[in-house]
Structure formats: structure tokens, C-alpha cells
Amino acid sequence: MQIIRHSEQTLKTALISKNPVLVSQYEKLDAGEQRLMNEAFQPASDLFGPITLHSPSDWITSHPEAPQDFEQFFSDPYRKTPSPDKRSIYIQAIGSLGNTRIISEEYIKWLTGYCKAYFYGLRVKLLEPVPVSATRCSFRVNENTQNLQIHAGDILKFLKKKKPEDAFCIVGITMIDLYPRDSWNFVFGQASLTDGVGIFSFARYGSDFYSMRYEGKVKKLKKTSSSDYSIFNNYYIPEITSVLLLRSCKTLTHEIGHIFGLRHCQWLACLMQGSNHLEEADRRPLNLCPICLRKLQCAVGFSIVERYKALVRWIDDESSGTPGATPEHSREGNGNLPKPVEAFKEWKEWIIKCLAVLQK
């Protein structure tokens, strides 16, 4: 295992900058916000730690890229920022996301609520779900994993056409695996920052995807024409577990972060770190490091305290329903399902520690 440690001065400059205008901007932040962000360059901080690399296949080793500090983010001429008339994040479900209509609807609500808290201050709106056929996308069966896949680029074109006037961005979510081009095996997601569109798949986040017993394998692709989407009528959808919800929330917020102009983080353990594989994505925390938090706050304009409180409320607000009920036992007619937030409990404790620093 390799630990990437930057000097205190390097982290301080990455966060605050040496540009007098940006230093002055930082000094005008609330005292509690400065106290929390200053944890970035405290070697003994138990809130923000260094990045750890576990194998040569990890992102930073295999995808060398220039780090982005706050000043570079702030000065980026291509960065898009929400404006008063474009302050909405739209979520478009493509295909069913759960094994029943109720599960699908609840799961989308949970993701929407999480985005509202994470990008606190912006509106998050749901578009009516659409079947795969509505996108007119290309599709295939993966030769290696034998699962259905839809073409990410085609979906992006569909979303661009559907983007509402007041949208800062529109993101598609699906339980069907994605591929960006014929020569690629798969992709977790793809986004166009200039168009403010993205598509993300949670298909590989089920506990059984990489197992021998995976039920989503398709023997052979039978289609009479390029417009025959009947194979998607009953495609396999994994059970919505707490781990799958956590992984989905991570991917969604990481990719929307890119649309705001945040590049992959190379400073501290952070949601915005790149990931090459599921194991690495699982090690990545849900939270932003102080450098990336300052970037997002600059773009959106939220109070950090209010944002953290909203995230705690999302974790605490377990939808009413039969205690202990699982999606397998639920019925179409049931009301709200309990939100599976067990995997978020540790993060909630971390947020409470941050709130203690902010509100000293």
C-alpha cells in the first residue's frame, strides 16, 4: 500500500491560494467554515486523511493527470456555474430501477433527496421515467459478461434534446450496463461537461454482478430489427440493498461534481478521487475533502453547516413502512418502503464530528 502525503504548505496553497483576491475571499468565510477547511493541512486531522493506493491498477497510478487546486478551478474559463435561471438538476430514469414499480419509485426518490442535500441550495427535479426504446439507443450483449448493455453516447444525445430550459444539468440513471464504443468492455458512466448531460449505470453495483450465480446473463441477442427493444421488457434488476444505494449515491454525486468543473481529486481522500474498479470506488469516501468542498461551495453558494444538517436529515429520514420489510417481501400496493441507510451510519457520525468543529 502506498500513501500519498502532501506537505502542509502544498495543501494550504491548494485550498486557499496565493492570489490575494482568493485569499481575501477565503478570509470572509464564516469562522467555523474556515476552521473545518483548515483541517486539510493539519497532519493530525481525524476528519481528512491522505489518499491510499492499494495496487498499480488504482486510478492515480494508471491515469496520470494534473491536479486541480482551488485557484485553477476558480479561473477555469470553461467551467459552468448555475445561474439564477438555470439552478435545477434534472434526473431522468431510463428503464425500471427496481423489481416492482414501488421499489423503482422509492429508489429514485431516495437518490433525488440525497442530491438535494449534497448540492444544497439547488433544485433537484425528477422527469417522468422512460423505457429504453424511447432513447432509440444502440444496444448489445457483452461478450465477456453476457449481460445487456446500452450505448452511452446515444443516451447523451437523447438527454441533450430533453434538457429543460431551467436545467443546470440533466443526468440519466439506469440499471442497465453501459458501453461507450464497440471496442470497450463497459463504462460506469459518461458525461459531457459542455452540454451539461450525463448518464450513469448502477448495474454493476449489485452484490451478485461478478458472481457465477449472476442472473442477468442473456444467452443470445434476438432482435428482428434495430428498433426491436422487446429484450428489455424483463431485464434483470439487482435487489436495492443499502450498499447498492450507497454506491449509487457516490457515483451520482461524483459525476455531477464533474459537471460543476471539479476534476479528479489528488489531494486527500475524497469523493472526487478517480476509480478504476469497484474495490477502489468502495474505498472512496462519500465526503468531499476541504479543497473540493470549497470548489463546490464557490459554485453553488451554500452554508456548509446547513448542507451537513440536510445530509444528516436525509440519513435519519427513513421512509415509513413495515420495519424490517425488504423489497422482496413488499407488495405493489404498499406505501413507502424503509430507506436502507445502514451503510451510511458511519458517515453520519463523521458529519456530526464536522458539525461540532463548525459550530464551536
Residue with cell 420489510: 325
Residue partners of 337: CB distance under 8 A and separation at least 6 = 102, 103, 106, 319, 321, 325, 327, 330
Alpha carbon distance 19, 7 (integer Å): 19
Asked if 103 contacts 241 with a C-beta cutoff of 8 angstroms, the reply is no
Residue partners of 277: CB distance under 8 A and separation at least 6 = 57
Q: Is 255 a catalytic residue?
A: yes
Which one of 33, 71, 105, 255 is the catalytic residue?
A: 255
354-357 own/partner pairs: CB under 8 Å, 24+ apart: 354/36, 354/47, 354/308, 355/305, 355/308, 355/309, 355/312, 357/32, 357/35, 357/36, 357/39, 357/47
Asked if 325 contacts 338 with a C-beta cutoff of 8 angstroms, the reply is yes
Q: Looking at the annotation, which residues are catalytic?
A: 255
